[in-house]
Structure 1
Amino acid sequence: MNPDRRDRLRDAAVEVLAEAGGRGLTHRAVDAAAEVPAGTAKNYFPTRDALLRAVAERCVEHYRATSEQLAASGPPPGERAGLEALLVSLLENVAGPGRSRLLAYLELQAEAARRPWLSEALDPIAVSDFGIFELAQGASGLPVTPERSAVVTLVLHAAIPHLLARGPRTLAASGLDDPARFVHTLLDVVYPERPTGS
């Protein structure tokens, strides 16, 4: 099978899942989104479970690519400001370039609650986040511990659905209407001890 066409179908499936939700993810909808002949998606991914697995794999691939970029542009050692800028850019990405991928990811998580095999496919994303964010917090000079790092990671994860839903009162109540202030406050709460030079 053509790997370029396979990737085109997987990217189209991500968009369909993001726009139409789990019920809207059909072979026919993916064919239309990818602008390929009817029956193409079914030829590559014969069942709906195969289609869901393909979307999950694509989301993991995109996540790993993004993680590598973030690791390469991580905060300079000893600079909390660099960490804050990194976390703010992540939150802003949710409503920007990453919106479709994250919407699809949330839909996949809902499906995974009923399909254990799908949960296993998605697990590397969340697991990687805990390690990546712990390293970033340590590199910024904060007195990081696994527990503190986990709190920061979980708070950022919890912010994603609200940023995607864009409810103005919810964003205001949570402080997410100002991502820079939100991140600064989060780190102040988790790390009340300010490192020298921050």
Structure 2
Amino acid sequence: MNPDRRNRLRDAAIAVLNESGGRGLTHRAVDAAAEVPSGTAKNYFPTRDALLGAVAGRCVELYSEVAERMAAAPAPRGREGLVALLRGLLENAAGPGRPRLLAYLELQSEAARKPWLSGILDPIGASDFAAFEHAQRAAGLPVTRARTRTLTLALHAALPHLLAEGPETLAAAGLDDLDAFARDLLASLYD
């Protein structure tokens, strides 16, 4: 099978999840989004579970690319450097990374009922703990496992609210000012 077409279909599935949610993820919708002949997605991914697994794998690949770029970037210097890093990650989540994150969250909902899917997606969330521990350490902060868990889980919890864009919730959570959110989060951990 053609690997370029396979990736095109997986990227189209991300677009479908972004636009229509999990209930909208059908072979026909993926064919339309990929602008390929009807039946192409079913030929590559014969069942809905195969399609879910393929798009989950693609999300892991895309996440790995982001993580590699983050690891190659200069380490944050000091608390303000870490604030800038966290703000940038949250801005990306609400901006260019939005389709991938919406797809990921839709897949996480499916994974709550399909443990095999959770196994595919697990590296995304699990690797964040080590990455954020490294970032805090690089910034010169006295990081602990508990602080790493709190920071990582707070950022994960912020994502659905950023994507839903409810103005009252964003204001209540402090997500309407991402610099202040990042500073407050670090202050709650380190002051």
| TM-score in terms of structure 2 length | 0.98
Q: How does 1:151-190 map to 2 (within 5 A)?
A: 151-190=150-189
Q: How does 1:3-14 map to 2 (within 5 A)?
A: 3-14=3-14
Whole-angstrom distance in 2 between the partners of 1:81 and 1:74: 14
Q: CA deviation at 1:83?
A: 1.2
Aligned residues: 191
Q: How does 1:23-38 map to 2 (within 5 A)?
A: 23-38=23-38
Identity across aligned pairs (percent)? 70
Whole-angstrom distance in 1 between the partners of 2:72 and 2:84: 14
Which AA in structure 2 matches 1:31? D
In structure 1, what is the equivalent of residue 132 of structure 2?
133
- Stretches of structure 2 lacking an aligned partner (at least 5 in a row): none
Aligned-residue Cα RMSD (Å) equals 0.8
Whole-angstrom distance in 2 between the partners of 1:146 and 1:92: 25
Which AA in structure 2 matches 1:172? A
Contact 1:74–1:86 (8 Å) recurs in 2: no
Which AA in structure 1 matches 2:30? V
In structure 2, what is the equivalent of residue 75 of structure 1?
75
Which AA in structure 2 matches 1:19? E
Task: Confirm or deny that 1:96 pairs with 2:86.
Answer: no
Q: CA deviation at 1:177?
A: 0.1
Q: CA deviation at 1:73?
A: 1.3
Q: How does 1:139-150 map to 2 (within 5 A)?
A: 139-150=138-149
| TM-score in terms of structure 1 length | 0.95
In the TM superposition, structure 1's runs of 4+ consecutive aligned residues that sit over 3 Å from their partners are none
